[in-house]
Amino acid sequence: GENVEQHPSTLSVQEGDSAVIKCTYSDSASNYFPWYKQELGKRPQLIIDIRSNVGEKKDQRIAVTLNKTAKHFSLHITETQPEDSAVYFCAQGGSARQLTFGSGTQLTVLP
């Protein structure tokens, strides 16, 4: 079945440093890879997504890279700020339309 592995489960960085979260997936038919940010007590919010015909996508301090051959994708946050602290989820979507999520990464940005 579909499976997404996400690492690390927790990540602490100093303010201003970069953070990288990695995910691997098993379903080769997957063609949509979103990243969600969930702040404490709030709803998961889509922050960036990438489709299988693109290798990299960037939006200000956030970037996502996709390697379809290796079946992994990564979230990169540069110049981290305290408000980036949250749980980040990667996910994969395909023809089935529902999303399969990773287990989440608790990111803490230390001031």
Partner 1 sequence: EAGVTQFPSHSVIEKGQTVTLRCDPISGHDNLYWYRRVMGKEIKFLLHFVKESKQDESGMPNNRFLAERTGGTYSTLKVQPAELEDSGVYFCATGLAVNNEQFFGPGTRLTVL
* Residues 50 and 36: beta-carbon distance below 8 Å: no
The least CB distance from residue 4 to partner 1, in Å, is 8
Report the C-alpha gap between 102 and 89 in whole angstroms: 6
Min separation Cβ 32 and partner 1, Å: 4
Residues in contact with partner 1 by CB under 8 A are 4, 6, 32, 34, 36, 42-46, 49, 89, 91, 93, 96-104
Instruction: Give strand pairing partners of 32.
Output: 51, 93
Between 10 and 18, whose beta carbon lies closer to partner 1? 10
Kind plus residue range of the DSSP H or E element containing 32: strand 32-38
Residues 87-98 as b or e (16 or more Cβ within 10 Å = b):
bbbbbbbbeeee
Give 14 or 43: the residue with its C-beta nearer to partner 1.
43
- Closer CB to partner 1, 80 or 104, in the complex: 104
Smallest distance from partner 1 to CB 34, Å: 7
Q: State in angstroms the smallest separation of the CB of 101 from partner 1.
A: 4
